[in-house]
Amino acid sequence: MNECTLPSSLPEEVEQALLRCGGIEGFLRDLPKDHELLKRSALYRALADPIRLKILAMLRDQPLCVCIMKSILGIADSKLSYHLNVLKKAGLIEGGKRGSWIIYSITEAGREFV
Amino acid sequence: MNECTLPSSLPEEVEQALLRCGGIEGFLRDLPKDHELLKRSALYRALADPIRLKILAMLRDQPLCVCIMKSILGIADSKLSYHLNVLKKAGLIEGGKRGSWIIYSITEAGREFV
DNA sequence: TCTTAAATTCAAAGTATTATGAAATGTCAT
DNA sequence: ATGACATTTCATAATACTTTGAATTTAAGA
């Protein structure tokens, strides 16, 4: 599955450490699986923007409508919409209609990062 | 500092919530500062890649030389070097010479994300 | 119905990140 | 010195992400 040829010689301490965790096989076995790494990196990517972190912070204590977030952030509608969508896709916030407004709130998952 | 004009009317529940946290001024005061948001988003950006998360996982239990990481990841030297550098700049790993090898280890900061 | 406000969608432009291969650096052993 | 290996650096190409402004959708009120 994960074919890998080791270098012919290694630093002493690294060699030792590898033996201690069951050789290279044991070492590979304990690494997180690729789909897990992809999932986590996608989550971090959603968090990797100051505007989005600020949105999460704003939603910490109460849900808010887009228009308030817009006036506080001072950015264009479409830009805000883009970032809200990134956060929503990542499962960090969720939004629902309320009359002609759309109100976003933070999810459990999102709350871990405020 | 953060000039912002609020919408003329707001959803009832949002209006209430804003009052509860000291009006718009109180709300703004409690938000994280910009440099803080920038710092955190930079950290998340460094974590936003499966290869880099895998490197952190590999370093969890012991330091490793580049050659081992290369053979396990199966990627080009220069590519690995690039990602190691991203992690290093973010303060998540650190590397030191050991003979003709360079051995990387995880930092305290990095350990929080494995 | 007509108008207005709240949000989203879309395509194009702008910017940042990542991948690639060749060249360079430094270290060790011969 | 020379050769071999470990790693980095660099320029460039490829890809991904973000911004922008115009157009669209939807709901509410006159």
pLDDT at B12 over 90: no
**Taking 60 as the threshold, does the pLDDT of residue B3 lie above it?**
no
Residue B2 pLDDT: 45
pLDDT tens sequence across A49-105: 999 999 999 999 999 999 999 999 999 999 999 999 999 999 999 999 988 899 999
Predicted local confidence at residue B1, as pLDDT: 41
Split at pLDDT 50, 70, 90, the class of B10 is confident
Q: Is A54's CB within 8 Å of B32's CB?
A: yes
Residue A12 in tokens: 């002493």
User: Is the minimum distance from the CB of A77 to strand C below 7 Å?
Assistant: yes
pLDDT higher for B75 or B24?
B75
pLDDT of residue A2: 46
Interface test with B, best of A9, A20, A21, A47 (most B CBs within 10 A): A47
Q: Would you say A60 and B27 are in contact if contact means Cβ atoms under 8 Å apart?
A: no
- Inter-chain contact B6–A68, Cβ cutoff 8 Å? yes
pLDDT higher than 50, residue B93: yes
Q: Is the CB of A72 under 7 A from strand C?
A: no
Which residue in A61, A98, A103 is closest to B21 by CB distance? Answer: A61
Nucleotide D14 C1' to residue A81 CA (A):
28
Select the more confidently predicted residue: B105 or A13: B105
Domain locations along chain A: 49-111
Element of type H or E holding B93: strand B93-98
Predicted pLDDT at A6: 80
> Does the pLDDT value for residue B4 go beyond 80?
no
Burial class for B5, CB neighbours closer than 10 Å (0-12, 13-18, 19+): exposed
CA of A8: nucleotide with nearest C1': D5
Say yes or no for a CB contact (<8 Å) between B62 and A17. yes
Share of chain B above pLDDT 90, in %: 75
Cα–Cα distances in angstroms (integers) from residue A21 to residues A2, A16, B9, B95, in the given order:
18, 9, 62, 22
CATH 1.10.10.10 fits A49-111, yes or no: yes
